[in-house]
Amino acid sequence: MSSSEYQVGLSAGYAHSRAAQASYEAAINEWRLHSENLKHQVNALNERIEIMQGHFEANNYVLLLLLEELRKTSPNSPLLVKGNRDSLRQKAFDRYLEDRGYEGPSSRPRR
């Protein structure tokens, strides 16, 4: 093998190595962008969860006020029994999930 053939082979090897490195770097950058996008999505979802938790707390406060009024005006109401309220809540929750393609509260979506 002559020196020039060796140089040509060496140059081809370097070119191949640089192309492979560029391909790896492009894949890494693509995954880095994907990771950043997922982080933004998770942050947005966490914010929505916090807002929903705030709504839950506010609704719970109003429920407590309403229950207190119900105790005063209708002390024998079945809605004053926690088990009755829980049953109604569970039925409404199950119906909500069913309307959206779920089979029940602990099932996976049918979609």
Which among 4-18, 38-52, 90-104 has the top mean pLDDT? 38-52
Number of structural domains found in the chain: 2
22 and 70 in a single domain? The answer is yes
Query: What is this structure's pTM?
Result: 0.63
Tell me if 106 sits within 8 A of 97, measured CB to CB: no
Predicted confidence (pLDDT) per residue in 33-88, tens digit? 999 999 999 999 999 999 999 999 999 999 999 999 999 999 999 999 999 999 99
How many angstroms separate the CA atoms of 77 and 97, rounded? 28
70 and 100 in a single domain? The answer is no
User: What is the pLDDT at residue 55?
Assistant: 98
56 and 11 in a single domain? The answer is yes
How many angstroms separate the CA atoms of 106 and 94, rounded? 10
The tokens for 65 are 């006020």
86 and 60 in a single domain? The answer is no
Domain that holds residue 85: 81-111
91 and 106 in a single domain? The answer is yes
51 and 94 in a single domain? The answer is no
Tell me if 95 sits within 8 A of 87, measured CB to CB: no
